[in-house]
Chain A
Amino acid sequence: MTGRIAAIMLGCALLAATAIAKEHPGKEQILKDGYQGPKTCEACHPGKAREFLGTVHWKHASKVDHVDNLNPDEEHGMKNRIYTMCNGNDIVNNLKEVPPNALGKTKFTGCNTCHPGDHASDVGSTGPQAEQAIDCLICHSSKYDFSKRKPAKDKNGNVVMTQDRSTEAAANIGRPSIKNCMACHEAAGGGAMIKRGFSMAKDAEVHVTKGIICVDCHQVKNHKFPTGRDPNNWAHDGIYMTCVGECHTSKPHTDADYNKHTEKIACQTCHIPKTGGAFSKDFTKWEKQANGFYEPSTLKREVNETAPVYAWYNLTVSNTPTFIGPKGSRTDGKSKIYPFKIFQGKAYFNKKNGQLLSMDFAPPISNGDSLAGVASAAKILGIKDYEPVPGWQTIYFGSNHQVTPKNKALTCANCHAINGVLNFKELGYASKEIEKLTNPELYFEKLLKLQQENE
């Protein structure tokens, strides 16, 4: 088994090396003619621009059928969701220039800053203009100059997002690298590694250490990205991924005792023992920064500093105004125990119907007035009948990255010792079962042998 995994790893590494070494065909043509945006790409890849407009990366939404209290006929995602990691969304926090702060300074900000268009063609836009607005190179170029991608006002005063459409960037294209993905995914939620709190550095994630990049696991088909089943990541391209597949089997360990666990314990539970990033935010209290702008007050930890919580998860999601998290139980026959990064956010709820209210960040960024942000968002969304009251929401984020080397994964005593990481009572076990599950008889001989081998 180890040999097979090693062979697959070697294969991946060789493929990656080949991909890096191999020059994308057409480079000479691009160098000769220059880059004219997606139409240059379409000369060899016809239909790809239109295809991309149908994906979550462009629409920031999709139909969602695994989450409670959503209309399955409508599309949901960061385009329109309201939750307390990002109390706004692409609609209320559409990229704009915020009002001047007390120092007279202004800046551009918005949730759709990472949208791979030019803002004139924005989230979910369609048609020939949208097709030509796609920033293909931000994902596909290894020489993208990020200083050229910035919000600015055009001659009509509209806010647009500029792009690097240089010949140099276009001449250096290929599969997206980790850098291409993390340019956007690292800074979500208000800063580097704030939202999900994982790093894709070589020393932080064992797959990266072995030369595997994001798109080796998220194997893209026609610009559609397979994703995992994070309870807080709703929009999807209709394809899902798990660890079990090309690289790992459902019985991946040489130790039969470990393999017995895979039926009820997700791989992540033992192999992703830590998480990090923000664990709490208060959108009702904005803190003044040295530059005169305000930010929501945030409690955060570094990558690998937070212990996850563990819960049964059957891949469906409970969604109420105060809780977003996994559904499941030990008896439903579908659930496994997964690790989650737990987050609690404070924002305003509508006293009249109990629903979480959204916030336009432009007013509070400029002057710290969070209620002005709620009023602006309500106006944008056409909500007239509301009374804001502060309250907390708890969110379970999937912990699916930053896989640790196997010698640092959780082992028997990490869970089965009395002070282990799993709260068996919370997980639905009776006292007598817990006595058995935490009896050293279960693991003593095995761990003693291991200890002797390592001494």
Chain B
Amino acid sequence: MKKISSVIIVFAIILVASFTVIRTASAEEVKITGVISKIEIAADQKSAIAVIKDNKSSESITITITDEATLDKFKDKRILEGDEIRTKFEKDGDKNTSKMFKKTAGC
């Protein structure tokens, strides 16, 4: 009985680990440049979504932003709808999580 339980536990661990590996492997890093068409800050102010129209494909892509520095720039309007940005995000299924989010403009 003990042996069967051990085998089941080991099997479960392998299964969970496999899913984790597959999930990690499926996350893809994407870079785009485009204009922000929408910024929406979550009610708890801890995240936001920004919709970017990719300059190359013209596709609108929704990106979730959680880093404090970028959220702060949304709040005090250093980054606005209409600004062009360069972003690097992790695409995992339907969710795109920002890893870098910068305005292209400078002086």
Contact = CB atoms under 8 A, between A and B. Distances in A.
Do the two shown chains form a genuine complex with each other? Answer: yes
Q: Which 6 A-B pairs have the closest CB atoms?
A: A290-B55, A147-B77, A192-B102, A187-B106, A191-B106, A190-B106
B78 interface: yes
Nearest to B33: A290
Contacts of A112: 107
A180 to B, nearest CB: 10
B80 interface: yes
Nearest to A193: B102
A194 interface: yes
A440 interface: no
A55 B37 CA distance: 39
Contacts of A393: none
A68 B30 CA distance: 46
B21 interface: no
B103 A302 contact: no
A146 B106 contact: no
B33 A201 contact: no
A146 B106 CA distance: 14
Interface string A98-124: 000000000001111110000000000
Interface string B76-107: 11101000101000000000000010111111
A187 B55 contact: no
Given A179-B72, A290-B33, A192 B78 contact: no
B55 A146 contact: no
Contact of A147 (B80, B84, B100, B103): B80
Given A144-B76, A179-B76, A192 B107 contact: no
Given A179-B72, A201-B69, A194 B106 contact: yes
**Range class of the A interface residue count:** 20 to 34
A188 B107 CA distance: 5
A306 to B, nearest CB: 16
B76 A192 contact: no
A291 B86 CA distance: 14
Contacts of A113: 107
A193 B69 CA distance: 14
Contacts of B77: 145-148
A147 B33 CA distance: 21
22 contacts: A113-B107, A114-B107, A144-B76, A146-B76, A146-B78, A147-B80, A148-B77, A179-B76, A183-B78, A187-B103, A187-B105, A187-B106, A187-B107, A188-B107, A189-B107, A190-B107, A191-B86, A191-B106, A193-B102, A194-B106, A290-B34, A290-B55
A189 B102 CA distance: 14
Given A143-B76, A179-B72, A111 B107 contact: yes
A192 B33 contact: no
Nearest to B35: A291
B25 to A, nearest CB: 23
Contacts of B100: 302
Nearest to B67: A201
A179 B71 CA distance: 12
Contact of A191 (B35, B68, B69, B103): B103
Contacts of B72: 179
B103 A192 contact: yes
A190 B77 CA distance: 19
Nearest to A95: B107
* Residue among B56, B77, B106 with max Cβ neighbours from chain A (10 Å): B106
* Residue among B56, B100, B105 with max Cβ neighbours from chain A (10 Å): B105
Contacts of B69: 201
Nearest to B103: A192
Given A143-B76, A189-B107, 8 more contacts: A112-B107, A188-B106, A190-B106, A191-B103, A191-B106, A201-B69, A290-B34, A302-B100
Contact of B102 (A109, A188, A191, A289): A191
Contacts of A290: 33-34, 55-56
Contacts of B55: 289-291
Interface in B36-77: 55-56, 68-69, 72, 76-77
A419 to B, nearest CB: 30
Interface string A179-212: 1000110011111111000000110000000000
A191 B76 contact: no
A112 B107 CA distance: 8
Contacts of B86: 191
Contacts of B76: 143-146, 179
